[in-house]
Structure 1
Amino acid sequence: MFYNIISQCLNSTTVTLFQARQAHAHILKLNLFSDSHLSKRLLSIYSNNLCFPEINHIFHSLPQPSLFTFSSVIHSFTRSNLYHHVLRIFSQLGSHDLVPDGYLIPSAIKACAALQALKTGKQVHGFVSVSGYGSDSVVMSSLVHMYLKCDQIVDAHKLFDRMPERDVVAWSAMISGYSRRGLVDKAKKLFSEMRNEGVEPNLVSWNGMIAGFSSYGSYVEAVMLFQMMLLEGFSPEGTTLSCILPAIGQLEDAVMGAQVHGYVIKQGLELDKFVVNSLLDMYGKCGCAFEMSQVFDEADQTEICFLNAFLTGLSRNGLVDTALEVFEQFKDEGMELNVVTWTSMIASCSQNGKDMEALEFFRKMQADGVEPNAVTIPSLIPACGNISALMHGKEIHCFSLRKGLFDDVYVGSALIDMYAKCGRIQLSRRCFDIMSAPNLVSWNAVMSGYSMHGRAKETIEMFHMMLQRGKKPDRITFTCVLSACAQNGLTEEGWQYFNSMSKEHGMEAKMEHYACMVTLLSRVGKLEEAYSIIKEMPYEPDACIWGALLSSCRVHHNLNLGEIAAKKLFLLEPDNPGNYILLSNIYASKSMWDEVNRIRDVMKNKGLRKNPGYSWIEVGRKVHTLLAGDKSHPQMKEILEKLDELTMKMKKSGYLPKTSFVLQDVEEQDKEEILCGHSEKLAVALGLLNTSPGESLQVIKNLRICDDCHAAIKFISSLEGREIFVRDTNRFHHFKDGGCSCGDYW
């Protein structure tokens, strides 16, 4: 009687999960599990409701599960994306003398694709080949998708060519696979072949190509495909638009972006979350802050993803203060901010000169219970490098080790860069050496560090080691190598590597590489040769090129070329005071005071002021900022007394203030007082006052270190027995025992 009641209950089309569990309890109590019908029916109900504990319990209690039983369980796990369980259950078929059919095999292949389990996928493929399913179009299509997911496009194409019937899904998969790898010609060829075989593309086909080209960086191709799609009468939907908008943003085509936005409004897609997010991103990349704000104001502001995209867009456009206000507003309103929100703000501060604020955000983030991730740490570490906050950087390094994040290649690369910027190039190299799989970013970071420290030999050694390990250099790699050559005046080597870009690596020299060569030649006094390069460049020289020439004209007192370079810069950067100051310095070095006054009048009329000289030094856990001529620091009296004391000792040791670098028409004594007020000297004195004897000092200067400060700090390093690291805008200076690592060449 009980058996009939339970059977009727489980066979009912209206049975609820609660009723099924009650029936299950009676089956256990009455020991009716030997009845395969009841077990199968119960398993089917649990599978439909995705009750995985009950599924596992029943499945493992069955003495001899059938193929139907396996199918129920596998399909349940597949629907919930529990692919590890799919493969685990699928592997047990053989032990029960069961052979998978054409319905089960695609589920197993899909699991292999999702997990990128290539080895297992090949085993399933082998079974397909010997079991007669090689002509099943569904099975073959699944295998093609699997090989594409596992990045085996050659194997996928071989299988695709052997398919008896190739529908639009299979064609679209192959086309998308080539598109995602940036293989534009092959993708287009397949697209044409598909049409020649009478298979017309659908929206999935177009979306796959557009998304593929966009994600790989072939933005122009993506936009051209989008335009072709429209011309052929296809109506883009939300997926299409969220694929093409990022490409438009990367091309900074605000006009096309606005046209797509109009289409979004016309089609009523303003509520599509992905489209709105893409619009925010596109306007942010196009520099359209007003339009981006409009989209955000009209969007559902309870969506955290919209806030994150908006904050990123504001930061990208330099509106970091606005981003901070928006962040605080939503935080005060009780919005639950996630790790992406906090990371966006940390990156924003770090990239816009608010390094201390970035460190403070990191502390607040943890206090709010938000766990930093492998994106947060690389966003934060540059802030430490920017201000040479070595202690903070080491703490974050320890944090990444505790959280198991150091193995992330971007965390490791950021640490390499941070230690280099903090003057600890040995630690930078050590971080690189212990990385399990350094990528090109890591190699470039360590080469950039060596270059920054003027260590051309090590930079070049790393370059050749990278080539030996099969890594292909990029534009940044050659910028590091050429910059190292420029730092050390290696003219012959510089030409060798510059020429090898096209001859050996098939790479066209860009503006930054020409800038390195102009700097290299200019600094060794070959100003006319540098000027010849500028005139023969395939690009219109930018401010960086002319700035390199003007800076060297100041060093070598070349008035003629200096005026030519300055004239170009005044057109390119009319509001950059640095260019006027450099030309003024050239005039002052030749005592052409009337011209100096003329330049000052031009700056005054334009409302321009000389950029003040700042220096930063970390003492303990605090970063101090010193401003040239500023007396506001609480220890300024002691600092100036220390500098007076040092000046007396240095003069006895042979130091003479280089007053020729005070480019003002004032008395000699006044010039010496001006030199004493330079920010790097103030920072060094502060460090000496507040650190233990023998402890090294680390100073950052926002301008090029002057010759007098360079000479003075060499004396101080010897008199005080200190290692002093000074990072200026050009390079690192490592002062020790009265000498400098730059060899007085910078």
Structure 2
Amino acid sequence: MPPLPHRPPAAGAGAAPTAGARSGPFPPHPPAASRIRLPRLPPPPSLSSSSTPASSFSSPATSALHPSDEVLSAMSPREHTSLLSRQSCWRRARDLFDRLRALPGYAPNPVHDAVLLRHLARARRWAELRCAWLEMALPPSNPAYAALADALAKAGLARGALLLLRHMRAQGVAPDEVSMNTFVRVLKDQGRYADALALFRNWCDGRFEVDFLDLDGIAIDSDCPMQFLLADICDGNFASGALAIDEGPQKPKLVATYNTLIDLYGKAGRLKDALDMFLDMPAHGVMPDKYTFNTLINIFGFAGNTAQAEALFASMLVRGINPDTKTYNVMMTVFASIGDLDGVLKYYRQIGKAGLHVDAVSSRIVLQVLCERKMVREAEDVIEGILNSGGSVNEQSLPIVMKMYVDLGFLDEAITFFERHCRGKGVSSKNFAAMIDAFAVKGLWEEAEHIFLSRGGDGNNKDIIEYNVMVKAYGRAKQYDRVSSLLESMEGSGVSPDECTYNSLIQMFSVGGFPQRAKKLLGKMKDAGFEPKCETYSAVIRSYSRHCLVPEAIGLLNEMKSSGVEPNIIVYGLLIDMFAETGNVKEALHYNNLLEESGISPNQVVLTSLIKAYSKYNCWKEALNLYSRMNNMDGGPDIIASNAMLNLYANLGMVTEAKEIFDILRRNSNADGVSYTTMVYLYKGMGLLSESVKVACELHKSGLLSDCASYNAVIACYVAKDNLRDCAELVQEMILANIPPDASTFGMIFSLLQNSHVSAEEVLQLESAYNDGKSSAKQAIVAFLFSIAGMHAAALEICEQLLKPERTIDACAYNVCFKVYASCGKVEKAFSLFMQMNDLGLKPDTVTCIHLATCYGKPGVSEGQRTNALFEYRTDELIPSHNALVAYIRSGKNNVAVQLVKK
């Protein structure tokens, strides 16, 4: 697949674009006075030496992390714990732990064991963790269980974390508040809110009862890193039932526990309990902290109670608890969730005023709301502020900004933004695919391909999600041939199509009218081990039915059933409609019977297809029975079914029955252009011209003229009444609506011209040009119609288009232009055209002479008299007269030329 040529940046983000940079008729940016002024991001705080990687080996703080044995011996156990916790590498933590144990007089410390276990679990060093567990000098205690459970849960091993509860019970270790809080958080994060609350209540009652958690049913895989705990449980003295806690009933004393429970109540939708828990804290000597307020604000805000969220924020300030950046982010998120831009910007501005620094989350939230509202310059201000502060645009914001540009048609800006902020930045496949998709949904396959191909230079391999989005881009743009190159690229990169890939390809080729290619892909999908669903089969069957490939559709239905996939109402409906279109009523009814035998009731779509089938054979009674059945269904017959019945009655000339349905449709405001058009032709065909014209006028005023057929129906009524002006105006309306007149329209125009005192020679010449397929014939006919209808401005506009230098027109079109200019009194222009015809070797014919007579006829002489006078010229006299006329005009004797024409 050839790469796209490089597109140079048109303008940087925030810069004024060059001319032509924006694509499409989009409005320019608003003037500066109307823009929302967002604060510039303050510079980030200076980093201390202890947190700067470049200086970590030489700073005193770094050397303090690796003290000598002499310094270690002088430290307290609490200082040892702090030192262990601050280690950045699990190996250093393990080495330090070994050094501590080797110190003379070192007393085993369960907290030290817990810290080491946390380091190993976070680094997923399972073999080392097992050794450390087995080598503990003291039996496992609450610090070890809490640290290990927390680390396992954060590593995505919640089942292993809960297994520790079984181990604690087997070892007779009752949870303290820290470990209880840890296990409650694990259950909460899994969505097991009731179990988490039950565990907390049992703890408050002084019971260690966990049988309700069904921990014995937790299945641990043989290769699970915590499998060794099962051996401990089996070897231990397993005590069933409850283990009493000596302290008896108790209340939590740690703010972290209250925070966990408040969040738990909030996620469970129990906001009153969350608020009660918050209000209960001071009574037990526990004061709320920032995390408490952040949690409460978050749960009330997302519950839609923004007033309570703002009240909590104000209460936080009153209590002297200074909000941090996360607090402001929570408030911004709350207002963003309800689409309140002013609320988001209010708290965004307050971050800097509070002496805090905007972080990645703050920028992501404000960019999200600005981009959703297409506030380009304000979003660019935020991006500029991020860059000025030494940061970069958050990865999750990249596709959001790209989508804003693409939706507005600012394609050059989108590409420039990508080149500056995305290329070579190690963007994840998910976000990369989202950027490709921003172009794909608009059918902009070249731009999507540009983004897709640029991935090769990132040093990252493309993921299947990116290929799938690219398939979507090609499908939307109908670039089917490029899909083959894409699939070859996949194979060359070692990426195998997944179920989504096959479904997208099958859908694409089915909609694109390539049922055989879709069927072939269906086979490949099954060969790859995927089981196509009913929707996948129905896509191919739909393509077969559209092409009336009956044997193929039935064969695929049988294949579908043999694969164990039962057809749904959509599949049966497609088959019934296919047979209805081909007029095979027997087969349509057969599959309707199969549908009902499978326990599925036919819907309006299926019954409408059956009505169409009966219409093919004018079986109006059977169709009426189905239509009456639809009247008893929810919503009644739809417009398609009603129009099918109208068409059936119209074919049979059943005016009364058709009028009854049509009146119901009009009364319920359901009649569409097809309904009106059917009735217009029905009345006209039955000789009820006044009724036909009445409905046609109603159709014209209704705004339902949307296609050529509906326009033709109204034009036919006006033609029947010789209403020239109305016909011409309708034709003009069609052209302005980008609905080109068809053969039926031009046939009615010719009929109208023949009855409008236009000479037979003129109409015959127009008809001949149309039938011969002359390139300018259609425009010439319309200009002629406008001219004789008195719509001179519209006629002149068409003539100006016909006479452009780059166009070549025939004698018929010249004659029409001559007539239009002459009719408008533009005599000099008419003479100019006459000379131009002569220079091109187009000798004047009878129609030319008619137009000359029309232009220069004697006052008071009728058109017919002038025409008849010209017809009396003999053919051999026409050419000498023409030569004399040309000579007079070239010599500037126009008056003589006029007299010659008048003779």
Does the pair score TM above 0.5? yes
1:260 to 368, 379, 393: 379
User: Aligned ranges for residues 578-589 of structure 1 at < 5 Å?
Assistant: 579-582=739-742, 584-588=743-747
1:668-694 per-residue CA deviation (whole Å, 9 max, x = no partner) reads: xxxxxxxxxxxxxxxxxxxxxxxxxxx
SS in 1 for 2:747: helix
Give the Cα separation in 1 of the matches to 2:96 and 2:731.
Answer: 90
User: Aligned ranges for residues 32-43 of structure 1 at < 5 Å?
Assistant: 37=108, 41-42=112-113
Tell me by how many angstroms 1:265 deviates. 0.9
2:163 to 52, 73, 88: 88
User: Aligned ranges for residues 610-649 of structure 1 at < 5 Å?
Assistant: none
Equivalent position of 1:191 in the other structure: 309
SS in 1 for 2:175: coil
Equivalent position of 2:663 in the other structure: none
Gaps of 5+ in 2: 1-68, 207-249, 280-287, 546-551, 582-587, 616-622, 639-667, 682-693, 719-725, 752-762, 771-775, 783-797, 803-903
1:138-188 per-residue CA deviation (whole Å, 9 max, x = no partner) reads: 435434544666xx43xx32432432348422323314543xxxxxxx343
Matched, 1:367 2:502: no
Equivalent position of 1:74 in the other structure: 149
Matched, 1:226 2:341: no
1:317-344 per-residue CA deviation (whole Å, 9 max, x = no partner) reads: 4332343355446548976322232222
**Which amino acid is 1:101 matched to?**
D
Tell me by how many angstroms 1:56 deviates. 3.4
Gaps of 5+ in 1: 179-185, 214-220, 469-476, 502-513, 608-746
SS in 2 for 1:163: helix
Give the Cα separation in 1 of the matches to 2:366 and 2:564.
Answer: 36
1:159 to 273, 288, 295: 273
Equivalent position of 1:691 in the other structure: none
Equivalent position of 2:464 in the other structure: 339
Give the Cα separation in 2 of the matches to 1:77 and 1:425.
Answer: 53
Tell me by how many angstroms 1:283 deviates. 1.3
Equivalent position of 1:52 in the other structure: 126
Give the Cα separation in 2 of the matches to 1:532 and 1:325.
Answer: 52
Could you tell me whether the CA contact under 8 Å between 2:502 and 2:525 is conserved in 1? yes
Give the Cα separation in 1 of the matches to 2:253 and 2:197.
Answer: 17
Could you tell me whether the CA contact under 8 Å between 2:700 and 2:714 is conserved in 1? no
Equivalent position of 1:628 in the other structure: none
Could you tell me whether the CA contact under 8 Å between 2:368 and 2:400 is conserved in 1? yes
How many pairs are equivalent? Answer: 535
**Which amino acid is 2:461 matched to?**
E
Deviates most, 93-102 or 514-523: 514-523
Could you tell me whether the CA contact under 8 Å between 2:715 and 2:730 is conserved in 1? no
Could you tell me whether the CA contact under 8 Å between 1:176 and 1:187 is conserved in 2? yes
User: Aligned ranges for residues 629-708 of structure 1 at < 5 Å?
Assistant: none
User: Aligned ranges for residues 597-608 of structure 1 at < 5 Å?
Assistant: 599-601=778-780
Give the Cα separation in 2 of the matches to 1:118 and 1:495.
Answer: 46
Give the Cα separation in 2 of the matches to 1:58 and 1:42.
Answer: 8
Could you tell me whether the CA contact under 8 Å between 1:523 and 1:552 is conserved in 2? yes
Give the Cα separation in 2 of the matches to 1:177 and 1:435.
Answer: 44
SS in 2 for 1:302: coil
Give the Cα separation in 1 of the matches to 2:155 and 2:506.
Answer: 38
SS in 2 for 1:318: coil
Return closer, same or farther for 1:46/1:198 CA change in 2, 3 Å cut-off. closer
Tell me by how many angstroms 1:350 deviates. 0.8
Could you tell me whether the CA contact under 8 Å between 1:78 and 1:86 is conserved in 2? yes
SS in 2 for 1:65: coil
Return closer, same or farther for 1:563/1:81 CA change in 2, 3 Å cut-off. farther
Give the Cα separation in 2 of the matches to 1:207 and 1:139.
Answer: 26
Could you tell me whether the CA contact under 8 Å between 1:113 and 1:121 is conserved in 2? yes
Give the Cα separation in 1 of the matches to 2:637 and 2:408.
Answer: 35
Matched, 1:139 2:257: yes
SS in 2 for 1:92: helix
Tell me by how many angstroms 1:486 deviates. 10
1:516-545 per-residue CA deviation (whole Å, 9 max, x = no partner) reads: 952552574468779858966xxxx6xxx6
Could you tell me whether the CA contact under 8 Å between 1:47 and 1:76 is conserved in 2? yes
1:273-318 per-residue CA deviation (whole Å, 9 max, x = no partner) reads: 3333321122122322122122113224113457545433333443
**Which amino acid is 2:116 matched to?**
I
Matched, 1:239 2:239: no
SS in 1 for 2:161: helix
Could you tell me whether the CA contact under 8 Å between 1:339 and 1:373 is conserved in 2? yes
1:65-97 per-residue CA deviation (whole Å, 9 max, x = no partner) reads: 211221221232244343232222234322222
Equivalent position of 2:504 in the other structure: 379
**Which amino acid is 2:675 matched to?**
L
Give the Cα separation in 1 of the matches to 2:335 and 2:446.
Answer: 36
TM-score, with structure 2 as normaliser: 0.48
TM-score, with structure 1 as normaliser: 0.56
Equivalent position of 1:288 in the other structure: 410
**Which amino acid is 1:296 matched to?**
F
Matched, 1:518 2:518: no
**Which amino acid is 2:162 matched to?**
L
Give the Cα separation in 2 of the matches to 1:437 and 1:38.
Answer: 64
Give the Cα separation in 1 of the matches to 2:746 and 2:490.
Answer: 52
**Which amino acid is 1:89 matched to?**
L
SS in 2 for 1:168: helix
Equivalent position of 1:99 in the other structure: 174
Could you tell me whether the CA contact under 8 Å between 1:287 and 1:317 is conserved in 2? no
Give the Cα separation in 1 of the matches to 2:342 and 2:575.
Answer: 41
Give the Cα separation in 2 of the matches to 1:247 and 1:266.
Answer: 17
SS in 2 for 1:337: coil
Tell me by how many angstroms 1:382 deviates. 1.9
Q: CA RMSD in A?
A: 5.7
Could you tell me whether the CA contact under 8 Å between 2:301 and 2:309 is conserved in 1? no
Give the Cα separation in 2 of the matches to 1:585 and 1:337.
Answer: 54
